[in-house]
Amino acid sequence: MTVLRDARLVLPGGVRRGDLHIRDARIVPEPASPSVAGGSDTAPSEVIDLGGRYVVPGFVDMHVHGGAGASYQAGTAEDARRAAAFHLAAGTTTTIASLVTGDPRELADAVAALADLAADGVLAGVHLEGPYLARERCGAHDPALLRPPDLDEFRRLAELGRGHLRMITVAPELPGALDLVRAAGDAGVIAAVGHTEAPGAIARAAFDAGARVATHLFNAMRPLHHREGGPIAAALTDPRVTVELINDGVHVEPAVARLAFDAAGPGRVALITDAMAAAGMGDGDYRLGVMDVQVRGGRATLAGGSSIAGSTITMADGFRRAVTEVGLPIERAAEAAALTPARALGIDARVGSLEPGKDADLLVLDDDLTVSRVMKGGRWL
Taking only the tens place, the pLDDT of each residue in 246-276 is 999 999 999 999 999 999 988 999 999 999 9
- The stretch 201-228 carries a mean pLDDT of 98
CA dihedral 100, 104, 107, 112 (to 10 degrees): 160
Please report the pLDDT score of residue 41 as a whole number.
Answer: 61
Q: Say which residues have a Cβ less than 8 Å from residue 148's Cβ, sequence separation at least 6.
A: 132, 174, 175, 176
Please report the pLDDT score of residue 245 as a whole number.
Answer: 98
Please report the pLDDT score of residue 306 as a whole number.
Answer: 78
**Burial (Cβ within 10 Å: 0-12, 13-18, ≥19) of residue 367:** exposed
CA dihedral 103, 191, 151, 131 (to 10 degrees): -20
Mean of all residue pLDDT scores within the chain: 95
Q: Are strands 291-296 and 299-302 parallel, antiparallel or unpaired?
A: antiparallel
- The stretch 118-134 carries a mean pLDDT of 98
Q: What is the pLDDT of residues 56-83, one digit of tens each?
A: 999 999 999 999 999 999 999 999 999 9
pLDDT over 90 at 129, yes or no: yes
Name the 3-class secondary structure at 69: coil
Please report the pLDDT score of residue 42 as a whole number.
Answer: 65
Alpha carbon distance 331, 146 (integer Å):
40
Please report the pLDDT score of residue 266 as a whole number.
Answer: 87
Which residues does the annotation place in the binding site for Zn(2+)? 129, 195, 216
User: What's the angle, vertex CA 348, arms to CA 70 and CA 14, rounded to 5?
Assistant: 105
Q: Say which residues have a Cβ less than 8 Å from residue 152's Cβ, sequence separation at least 6.
A: none
Please report the pLDDT score of residue 34 as a whole number.
Answer: 54
pLDDT over 90 at 305, yes or no: no
Please report the pLDDT score of residue 37 as a whole number.
Answer: 44
- The stretch 334-362 carries a mean pLDDT of 98
Alpha carbon distance 158, 164 (integer Å):
8
Report CA torsion sign: 242, 248, 253, 255. Answer: positive
Do residues 133 and 171 lie in contact, with contact meaning Cβ atoms separated by under 8 Å? yes
Which residues does the annotation place in the binding site? 129, 140, 195, 216, 219-220, 227, 251, 308-310
CA dihedral 152, 105, 67, 195 (to 10 degrees): -40
Residue of 61, 238, 274, 348 marked active site: 274
Residue type present at position 258 = R
Name all domains of the chain by residue range, CATH numbers in brackets.
2-56+356-380 (2.30.40.10), 59-345 (3.20.20.140)
Do residues 346 and 164 lie in contact, with contact meaning Cβ atoms separated by under 8 Å? no
Q: Mark whether 274 is an active-site residue.
A: yes
